[in-house]
Amino acid sequence: MTDPFFCNEPFHRTLYENNPLASVSAEIRFPPLLKLKNVAPSDFQELLIADYPVTDFQQQTEIGFNMANSAEPNVTRNQKYLFRSDDSVWTVAVTGQSFSVGTSVYLDWPDFLGRFIGALERFSACYPSLKQISRIGLRYQNVIDKAKIGLESRNWSDLFRPEIAGIMGIDNLSVDNLAGMSNFSQMKFGDNHISLRQELLSDSENIARKAMLLDADYFTETPFAISKDAVSQKLSDLHDLSGPLFKWCITDLLHEKLGPREA
């Protein structure tokens, strides 16, 4: 397998004092668990309640179309159960075909991975029939707000590579001329996939204030048997891609303004 292009440059993992991470989440998907689709996960809630005492629900609706009869859409409704920490910083979410853990306050990789595996072990204890994972993913959402790091006067082209800045890299393009921007790309390196989205965000109270969202989803859809070691290794492999890609996307100026320190 050819190494990803963004891994060709020297990389030293760092933590940022001005951390741009808005959220980090990891998810596994698996064949439908009818028990979970039809019965609320009360046993799982009991195992989680000390760490995630706040419970909530969401109704997910998926609409598809039968090509033979496009007039009648196929509508699938799934219940999503959410278990949150007291401060709502951490969330465990389950449906009949997925399990995820997410946070809005990311400390470091060992902390995040430990929380994910801890919750997954309790989930597996409640659903021992779960044997195989069909997809595993790790998602990082970074928001770069120029005002927060003292770079209001700098152009986006000073902060991101031309491939990432896109049309926002035009130096004489005023924020008044650009109502919005969104780019999406998907890459594949061996069994690993990366979906990368860049989007221009606007402050609801100050339309002239803009921020850049870098939304990167690292995943593999190669099925594998579930185990603590296998899940930890797969997520760690995906994590190893995340730092080099983010560093490749940004300029040295932005890197320094974020306040790097050794991880």
Q: Please, are residues 202 and 170 in contact by the beta-carbon 8 Å criterion?
A: no
What is the model's pLDDT at position 105?
Answer: 96
What is the model's pLDDT at position 205?
Answer: 64
Q: Please, are residues 29 and 133 in contact by the beta-carbon 8 Å criterion?
A: yes
Report the alpha-carbon distance of residue 193 to residue 196 in Å, rounded.
10
Q: Please, are residues 198 and 213 in contact by the beta-carbon 8 Å criterion?
A: yes
204: left (phi over 0), alpha (psi -120 to 50) or beta: alpha
201 beta partners: 211
150: left (phi over 0), alpha (psi -120 to 50) or beta: left
What is the model's pLDDT at position 246?
Answer: 96
Q: Is the dihedral of CA 166, 208, 146, 182 positive or negative?
A: negative
210 beta partners: 202
Q: At what angle do helices 228-249 and 109-126 cross, to 10 degrees?
A: 140
Look up the pTM and report it.
0.90
Report the alpha-carbon distance of residue 24 to residue 111 in Å, rounded.
12
Selection from 241, 230, 246, 255 nearest residue 28 by Cα: 230
Instruction: List the structure tokens of 253.
Output: 């100026």
What is the model's pLDDT at position 65?
Answer: 60
* SS3 state of residue 170: coil
Tell me, rounded to whole angstroms, the distance of Cα 142 from its chain centroid. Answer: 9
What is the model's pLDDT at position 180?
Answer: 78
Q: Would you call 178 exposed, middle or buried from its count of C-beta atoms within 10 A (0-12, 13-18, 19+)?
A: middle
Selection from 60, 31, 14 nearest residue 223 by Cα: 31
Q: Would you call 122 exposed, middle or buried from its count of C-beta atoms within 10 A (0-12, 13-18, 19+)?
A: middle
259: left (phi over 0), alpha (psi -120 to 50) or beta: left
Q: Output the tens digit of pLDDT for each of the chain's 263 residues.
A: 467 888 877 788 889 999 999 999 999 999 999 888 889 999 999 999 999 999 999 887 766 666 565 566 766 677 999 999 999 999 999 999 999 999 999 999 999 999 999 999 999 999 999 999 999 999 999 999 999 999 988 888 999 999 998 888 777 766 566 777 889 999 999 999 999 999 988 876 665 678 999 999 999 999 999 999 999 999 999 999 999 999 999 999 999 999 999 87
90-111 in b/e form (b: 16+ CB < 10 A) is: bbbbbbbbbbbbbbeebeebee
